[in-house]
Amino acid sequence: MSDRLQDLTSTNTASGDNLSAGGRVPSIVTHRLTDHVLAAVPTIWLALFFLAPLGVTVAFSFGRSTFGGVVFDLTLDNYRNALSGFYGATFVRTLLFAASASALCIAVAYPVAYFLARRTRRRRGLAAGLILVPYFSSFLIRVMALHMLLSRDGLVEHVLNTLWLHSGPLDILDSQTAVFIGIVYAYLPITIVPLYVVLDRIPQPLLEASRDLGASRFKTFVFVTLPLSRPGIATSVLLTAVPMLGEMVIPRLLGGSKGVLLGQVLSAQYLQSQNYPLGSAMAVLILITIALIVTALARVTKGFSEVGP
Amino acid sequence: MSAAAAFHRSLGKRLVDAGLSLWFVAALVFLYAPIFAAIVYAFNLGVVNKQTAVITGWTLQWFPAAWNDLSLRRAVQASLVVSFWSALISVAIGSALGYAMVRHPQRAVRRFLSALTYTLLIVPETVIGVSLLMTYAVSGVPLGMASLIAGITPMAIAVVALIVRARVLTLDRRIEEAAADLGSTRLKTIRFIILPQILPAVMAGAVMAYTFSFDNLVVSAFLTTPQVNTLPVFLYGSLQYGPSPAVYAAAATVFLFTLLMLALAAQIHRWARRSTLPRSDEPQR
């Protein structure tokens, strides 16, 4: 509102003198033009290569599959199909998987973030850098190497045998456990960052006050630190649970044929069975789920000012 | 009694601290072990042209083998070209987006652009990939280099935009207003006042966009063709037949390359921080 007011005032005064209206004064026309071009170019590009494709998927999801093609229609059959039988079970399994894997990621990441937030400023930068470097190195290569490590006769098997934690060959690949290990491995760095940012911002005097009022360290953590880190937890959930809904690489490489997830089933509709409307309905279901997650998270973090990256 | 309690407390504190440190070290080992493994396996002899989990001996033969593998080499070449153009486009568009997100005069526009950027980050790549595939099919755009590059730009644009946005937020608005008061047009202000100030962020964004594009697997998996096959897609495909040992040699090389790029980005960032110190106090040293 105030912005628009300022716009109006600057437009009115611009014709006359250049000195009065503080901010953006000279030649309103070119100034507006530049600003609009800078906003329009990205919008047009993203409309073409992001929004329009999503629109096509939504349109396809109401269509009917013909031999290798699609006839537009307004049927809900694809949704019915995607939510029943094997596909419905996969959808539910994927939701449960995303929820539990996201919780696992946060459980592993929280102590690391807590540790980072309590370092001195200089060491903190180094430690955070160490955590982030793997995230920027090739994802596929890391998962491939993890596959090697977890395979029979691999390093992990030898280490576990030496430590007497396990005996005999390790049959962890092609199981749900391996998928969980891979997921935590791949998402750990980006789970840590939002938690770290938010823990770092909790004012120290608040914790001291809690201690002064007689709360134990544990109680201070549960009743002060944990509630205050809610926005970080919400962001971490967003960054982990959401991509997991479409995850197709890790389950395929580490999980084998067991426990197929929605991402794999979805891509199979396009790359193998060519049932595009069904695949589109699955994609739309993923998008709807994400919208619900975002709404829920927004509600959880209501009252906090924006904690952005 | 209170001394005992204090001792108790400090013991508890120390235990917690030790536990946290241990957890952190364990996380680091977990994160780095596969990376070291990938590099080690690049030198592993393996058994009859097959990579094995056991170390059977040391060799350098996989590096020339990777170099001579024609399809591998073509994949690397395609990846280099794709990520170059993707980074270039993403930097231009992402910088404009990052700037407009902060400085566009209309609040509604700023909000819309922010929402768009964050949406880009949370839509799963699988969904973007299949949607683009269908869009190209419907509009009759043939799959090829250009369609692949355009397809992987949206996410790279979001990354660049967020980096540039963070930098624009720290800029002193009064400098732009002073320029405007002195008769500079908006375009000139951007060219001579803003661009020099955000250049380090733009360059860091370029490196990030390049790395992200080079590494992109999911969207690319839907948009590549046998003719245009990038390295991650090629590796992913080759895994089905059991990876050729040369793959790890290529992977190790790519990893070192990525590390160099990241070091470059970090250096640019550091250089940026130094160059943002107020110029006017320089002579006073």
What mean pLDDT is reported for chain A? 82
Report all structural domains of chain A as residue ranges with CATH numbers, in order of start: 77-300 (1.10.3720.10)
What is residue B5's predicted lDDT score, i.e. its pLDDT?
66
CA B46 – CA B81 distance, rounded (Å): 32
What is residue B151's predicted lDDT score, i.e. its pLDDT?
95
Tens of pLDDT along chain B (285 residues) come to 466 666 666 787 888 889 999 999 999 999 998 888 888 888 887 776 666 667 777 888 788 888 888 888 889 899 999 999 999 999 999 999 999 999 998 999 999 999 999 999 889 999 999 999 999 999 999 999 999 999 999 999 999 999 999 889 988 889 988 998 998 888 888 889 899 989 888 988 898 899 889 989 999 999 998 888 898 898 888 877 666 677 788 878 887 887 787 788 777 767 766 665 444 444 433
Task: Phi first, then psi: give them for residue A165, nearest 5 degrees.
Answer: -90, -10
The interface predicted TM-score (ipTM) is: 0.85
Q: What is the domain-level CATH number for residue B104?
A: 1.10.3720.10
Closest residue in A to B148 (Cα) is A49
Residue A30 distance to chain B (closest CA, Å):
7
In a domain, B47, yes or no: no
H or E stretch covering B105:
none
In a domain, B39, yes or no: no
Mapped onto helix, strand or coil, the DSSP state of residue B173 is helix
Residue B158 distance to chain A (closest CA, Å):
10
* Distant-in-sequence contacts of A267-273, Cβ < 8 A, 24+ apart: A267/B126, A267/B129, A267/B130, A267/B221, A267/B222, A269/B130, A270/B130, A270/B133, A270/B134, A270/B222, A271/B222
Can you list the residues of chain A whose pLDDT is less than 70? Answer: 1-31, 68, 258-259, 303-309
In a domain, B89, yes or no: yes
CA B129 – CA B155 distance, rounded (Å): 11
Q: How many domains does chain B have?
A: 1
Note down the domain range covering B204: 63-276
Q: B-contacting residues of A 234-273, CB under 8 Å?
A: 238, 242-243, 245-249, 253, 263, 266-267, 269-271
B127, B185, B262 ranked by CB distance to A136: nearest: B262
In a domain, B159, yes or no: yes
Best of B22, B24, B47 to disrupt the A interface (most A CBs within 10 Å) is B24
Write out the two tokens for A157: 């098997």
What is residue A75's predicted lDDT score, i.e. its pLDDT?
86
Give CA angle at A46 (A234, B203), nearest 5°: 80
Is A136 in the B-facing interface, judged by CB distances under 8 Å? Answer: yes
Is B88 in the A-facing interface, judged by CB distances under 8 Å? Answer: no
CA A156 – CA A31 distance, rounded (Å): 62
Residue type at position B1: M
Would you give the DSSP letter of residue A117?
H
B12, B124, B129 ranked by CB distance to A286: nearest: B124
The residue whose two tokens read 């699609």 is A70
Residue B21 distance to chain A (closest CA, Å):
7
In a domain, B99, yes or no: yes
CA A286 – CA A62 distance, rounded (Å): 15
In a domain, B214, yes or no: yes
Task: Phi first, then psi: give them for residue B51, nearest 5 degrees.
Answer: -75, 140
The alpha-helical segments, DSSP class H, found in chain B are 2-41, 62-68, 70-103, 107-122, 125-139, 145-169, 173-181, 186-189, 195-215, 218-223, 231-238, 246-275
What is residue A174's predicted lDDT score, i.e. its pLDDT?
82
Write out the two tokens for A116: 């980072």
In a domain, B107, yes or no: yes
In a domain, B42, yes or no: no
